[in-house]
A = this chain, B = another copy of it.
Amino acid sequence: MEVNNPKYRNQGIHVVCSIFTVDKGVTKVLLIRRKNEPFKGMWALVGGALYNDEELIDGLKRELKEKTGIENIHLEMANVYSRIDRSPVMRMVAISYIGIVDKNKLSILKETLKTVDCDWFPLDRIPKLAYDHNEILEDAAKLLKERIKKTDMLRYLYPSGFTMPEIQKVYESILGVSFDRRNFRKKLLSLGFIKETNKTERFEGKKPAKIYEFKKQNEIKSIF
Protein backbone atom coordinates (compact mmCIF):
# COMPACT_ATOMS: atom_id res chain seq x y z
CA MET A 1 0.00 0.00 0.00
CA GLU A 2 1.52 3.29 -1.13
CA VAL A 3 0.54 5.31 1.91
CA ASN A 4 1.12 8.61 0.17
CA ASN A 5 -1.32 8.04 -2.64
CA PRO A 6 -3.88 10.81 -2.11
CA LYS A 7 -6.66 8.39 -2.97
CA TYR A 8 -6.14 6.77 0.41
CA ARG A 9 -6.55 10.07 2.27
CA ASN A 10 -9.53 11.62 3.94
CA GLN A 11 -11.44 8.49 4.65
CA GLY A 12 -13.22 7.82 7.89
CA ILE A 13 -15.52 5.37 9.60
CA HIS A 14 -18.94 6.15 11.01
CA VAL A 15 -20.35 3.87 13.66
CA VAL A 16 -24.07 4.20 14.17
CA CYS A 17 -26.72 2.26 16.03
CA SER A 18 -30.47 1.66 15.90
CA ILE A 19 -31.56 1.05 19.46
CA PHE A 20 -35.05 -0.38 19.64
CA THR A 21 -37.54 -0.81 22.43
CA VAL A 22 -41.13 -1.98 22.63
CA ASP A 23 -43.37 0.36 24.57
CA LYS A 24 -46.95 -0.74 25.20
CA GLY A 25 -47.06 -2.81 22.05
CA VAL A 26 -45.35 -0.20 19.87
CA THR A 27 -41.84 -0.71 18.49
CA LYS A 28 -39.75 2.43 18.82
CA VAL A 29 -36.22 3.55 18.03
CA LEU A 30 -33.98 6.02 19.86
CA LEU A 31 -33.10 9.18 17.93
CA ILE A 32 -31.10 12.26 18.87
CA ARG A 33 -31.39 15.76 17.51
CA ARG A 34 -28.12 17.25 16.31
CA LYS A 35 -26.74 20.42 17.84
CA ASN A 36 -24.03 20.98 15.21
CA GLU A 37 -23.35 20.99 11.48
CA PRO A 38 -23.68 19.03 9.32
CA PHE A 39 -27.41 18.39 9.55
CA LYS A 40 -27.74 20.81 12.48
CA GLY A 41 -31.17 20.55 14.07
CA MET A 42 -32.09 17.30 12.35
CA TRP A 43 -32.95 14.04 14.01
CA ALA A 44 -30.45 11.22 13.55
CA LEU A 45 -29.52 7.77 14.73
CA VAL A 46 -27.00 7.71 17.56
CA GLY A 47 -23.42 7.43 16.35
CA GLY A 48 -20.38 9.30 15.17
CA ALA A 49 -16.91 9.05 13.72
CA LEU A 50 -14.52 6.35 14.87
CA TYR A 51 -11.15 7.30 16.36
CA ASN A 52 -8.11 5.64 14.88
CA ASP A 53 -7.21 4.06 18.21
CA GLU A 54 -10.44 2.27 19.01
CA GLU A 55 -12.40 -0.71 17.77
CA LEU A 56 -15.79 -0.24 16.17
CA ILE A 57 -17.80 -1.37 19.14
CA ASP A 58 -15.79 0.75 21.56
CA GLY A 59 -16.12 3.83 19.41
CA LEU A 60 -19.84 3.28 19.16
CA LYS A 61 -20.20 2.89 22.91
CA ARG A 62 -18.23 6.08 23.44
CA GLU A 63 -20.52 7.96 21.07
CA LEU A 64 -23.57 6.41 22.66
CA LYS A 65 -22.50 7.54 26.12
CA GLU A 66 -21.59 11.03 24.90
CA LYS A 67 -24.85 11.60 23.05
CA THR A 68 -27.40 9.79 25.21
CA GLY A 69 -25.77 8.86 28.51
CA ILE A 70 -26.51 5.19 27.86
CA GLU A 71 -23.91 2.67 28.99
CA ASN A 72 -23.54 -1.07 29.15
CA ILE A 73 -25.94 -2.20 26.51
CA HIS A 74 -25.67 -5.04 24.07
CA LEU A 75 -25.15 -4.12 20.42
CA GLU A 76 -24.64 -6.37 17.43
CA MET A 77 -23.36 -5.54 13.99
CA ALA A 78 -25.87 -4.99 11.22
CA ASN A 79 -24.84 -3.49 7.89
CA VAL A 80 -22.26 -1.40 6.04
CA TYR A 81 -22.90 1.73 3.97
CA SER A 82 -20.33 3.07 1.55
CA ARG A 83 -22.03 5.56 -0.75
CA ILE A 84 -19.32 8.06 -1.60
CA ASP A 85 -21.36 11.16 -0.87
CA ARG A 86 -23.16 9.84 2.20
CA SER A 87 -21.37 12.44 4.31
CA PRO A 88 -20.97 16.04 3.15
CA VAL A 89 -17.83 16.48 5.27
CA MET A 90 -15.59 13.75 3.98
CA ARG A 91 -15.68 10.23 2.65
CA MET A 92 -17.14 8.10 5.44
CA VAL A 93 -18.01 4.42 5.42
CA ALA A 94 -20.66 3.62 8.01
CA ILE A 95 -20.94 0.43 10.03
CA SER A 96 -24.37 0.00 11.57
CA TYR A 97 -25.33 -1.85 14.75
CA ILE A 98 -28.62 -2.82 16.34
CA GLY A 99 -29.72 -3.29 19.93
CA ILE A 100 -32.89 -3.67 21.93
CA VAL A 101 -33.48 -2.43 25.48
CA ASP A 102 -36.16 -1.89 28.07
CA LYS A 103 -36.61 1.88 27.97
CA ASN A 104 -37.94 1.92 31.53
CA LYS A 105 -34.68 0.52 32.85
CA LEU A 106 -32.50 3.35 31.59
CA SER A 107 -32.54 7.11 31.57
CA ILE A 108 -31.47 9.18 28.59
CA LEU A 109 -29.93 12.64 28.48
CA LYS A 110 -32.19 15.13 26.73
CA GLU A 111 -29.29 17.43 25.94
CA THR A 112 -25.52 17.00 25.66
CA LEU A 113 -22.51 18.73 24.12
CA LYS A 114 -23.57 17.50 20.71
CA THR A 115 -27.30 17.01 20.96
CA VAL A 116 -30.31 19.19 21.72
CA ASP A 117 -32.89 16.44 22.17
CA CYS A 118 -33.28 12.69 22.44
CA ASP A 119 -36.43 10.62 22.20
CA TRP A 120 -38.09 7.34 21.23
CA PHE A 121 -39.91 7.35 17.87
CA PRO A 122 -42.46 4.77 16.70
CA LEU A 123 -41.19 3.16 13.50
CA ASP A 124 -44.14 4.43 11.51
CA ARG A 125 -43.50 8.03 12.52
CA ILE A 126 -39.84 8.58 11.67
CA PRO A 127 -38.94 12.09 10.50
CA LYS A 128 -36.44 12.81 7.75
CA LEU A 129 -33.09 11.96 9.32
CA ALA A 130 -29.52 13.20 8.88
CA TYR A 131 -27.14 11.46 6.44
CA ASP A 132 -28.55 8.18 5.06
CA HIS A 133 -29.96 7.27 8.45
CA ASN A 134 -33.47 6.64 7.15
CA GLU A 135 -32.06 3.90 4.95
CA ILE A 136 -29.87 2.54 7.75
CA LEU A 137 -32.83 2.46 10.13
CA GLU A 138 -35.04 0.67 7.61
CA ASP A 139 -32.44 -2.03 7.09
CA ALA A 140 -31.92 -2.26 10.85
CA ALA A 141 -35.63 -2.78 11.48
CA LYS A 142 -35.70 -5.57 8.90
CA LEU A 143 -32.69 -7.18 10.51
CA LEU A 144 -34.24 -6.89 13.95
CA LYS A 145 -37.12 -9.04 12.71
CA GLU A 146 -34.75 -11.69 11.42
CA ARG A 147 -32.70 -11.68 14.59
CA ILE A 148 -35.60 -12.08 17.04
CA LYS A 149 -36.92 -14.93 14.89
CA LYS A 150 -33.61 -16.75 14.66
CA THR A 151 -31.69 -15.85 17.82
CA ASP A 152 -32.34 -15.16 21.48
CA MET A 153 -31.75 -11.44 20.99
CA LEU A 154 -34.81 -10.54 23.06
CA ARG A 155 -32.86 -11.57 26.15
CA TYR A 156 -31.50 -8.04 26.12
CA LEU A 157 -34.97 -6.59 26.34
CA TYR A 158 -35.68 -8.76 29.38
CA PRO A 159 -32.57 -8.99 31.53
CA SER A 160 -34.69 -9.84 34.55
CA GLY A 161 -37.50 -12.01 33.25
CA PHE A 162 -40.77 -11.73 31.38
CA THR A 163 -44.18 -13.33 31.18
CA MET A 164 -45.48 -15.25 28.19
CA PRO A 165 -48.27 -12.85 27.24
CA GLU A 166 -45.79 -9.98 27.57
CA ILE A 167 -43.09 -11.39 25.29
CA GLN A 168 -45.69 -12.68 22.86
CA LYS A 169 -46.96 -9.15 22.41
CA VAL A 170 -43.40 -8.01 21.72
CA TYR A 171 -42.91 -10.65 19.04
CA GLU A 172 -46.22 -9.72 17.52
CA SER A 173 -45.42 -6.02 17.58
CA ILE A 174 -42.01 -6.34 15.97
CA LEU A 175 -42.97 -8.97 13.41
CA GLY A 176 -46.38 -7.51 12.69
CA VAL A 177 -48.19 -10.84 12.96
CA SER A 178 -50.18 -12.59 15.66
CA PHE A 179 -49.70 -16.04 17.16
CA ASP A 180 -51.86 -18.60 18.87
CA ARG A 181 -51.19 -18.37 22.61
CA ARG A 182 -50.78 -22.09 23.15
CA ASN A 183 -48.55 -22.74 20.16
CA PHE A 184 -46.45 -19.67 20.88
CA ARG A 185 -45.72 -20.88 24.39
CA LYS A 186 -44.84 -24.38 23.19
CA LYS A 187 -42.57 -23.04 20.46
CA LEU A 188 -40.67 -20.67 22.73
CA LEU A 189 -40.19 -23.33 25.41
CA SER A 190 -39.06 -25.90 22.84
CA LEU A 191 -36.19 -23.65 21.74
CA GLY A 192 -34.59 -24.36 25.09
CA PHE A 193 -33.15 -20.98 25.96
CA ILE A 194 -35.69 -19.89 28.51
CA LYS A 195 -36.65 -21.36 31.87
CA GLU A 196 -39.51 -21.02 34.34
CA THR A 197 -39.06 -19.21 37.64
CA ASN A 198 -41.31 -19.57 40.67
CA LYS A 199 -42.29 -15.92 40.53
CA THR A 200 -45.41 -14.45 38.98
CA GLU A 201 -46.52 -11.02 37.89
CA ARG A 202 -49.75 -9.54 36.60
CA PHE A 203 -49.68 -8.43 33.00
CA GLU A 204 -52.99 -7.61 31.38
CA GLY A 205 -55.17 -10.16 33.09
CA LYS A 206 -56.28 -10.49 36.67
CA LYS A 207 -54.70 -13.90 37.00
CA PRO A 208 -50.95 -13.52 37.57
CA ALA A 209 -48.67 -14.86 34.84
CA LYS A 210 -45.55 -16.93 35.47
CA ILE A 211 -42.26 -15.17 35.06
CA TYR A 212 -39.75 -16.86 32.75
CA GLU A 213 -36.15 -15.86 32.20
CA PHE A 214 -33.50 -16.44 29.57
CA LYS A 215 -30.94 -19.02 30.56
CA LYS A 216 -27.36 -17.79 30.76
CA GLN A 217 -25.57 -18.53 27.48
CA ASN A 218 -23.57 -21.33 29.09
CA GLU A 219 -26.71 -23.00 30.44
CA ILE A 220 -28.04 -23.54 26.95
CA LYS A 221 -27.05 -27.00 25.87
CA SER A 222 -27.00 -28.15 22.30
CA ILE A 223 -28.72 -31.34 21.29
CA PHE A 224 -25.51 -33.38 21.08
Contact = CB atoms under 8 A, between A and B. Distances in A.
A55 to B, nearest CB: 5
B10 A84 contact: no
A10 B11 CA distance: 8
A74 to B, nearest CB: 17
A49 to B, nearest CB: 5
A54 interface: yes
A54 B8 CA distance: 11
Interface string A36-59: 001000000000111111111100
A49 B3 CA distance: 10
A77 interface: yes
Interface residues of A, number: 30
Contact of A89 (B3, B52, B53, B55): B3
Nearest to A48: B1
A100 B52 CA distance: 33
A93 interface: yes
A85 to B, nearest CB: 10
A67 B9 CA distance: 22
Nearest to A91: B52
B1 A89 contact: yes
Assembly stoichiometry (copies): 2
Given A1-B48, A1-B89, A89-B3, A84 B54 contact: yes
A7 interface: yes
A77 to B, nearest CB: 6
Interface in A106-126: none
Contacts of A50: 11, 93
A8 to B, nearest CB: 6
Nearest to A80: B95
Contacts of A77: 80
Given A7-B52, A54-B84, 16 more contacts: A1-B49, A1-B90, A3-B90, A7-B53, A8-B49, A8-B51, A8-B52, A11-B11, A50-B93, A52-B84, A53-B84, A56-B82, A56-B93, A77-B80, A80-B95, A93-B95
6 contacts: A1-B38, A8-B49, A13-B93, A52-B91, A80-B80, A93-B93
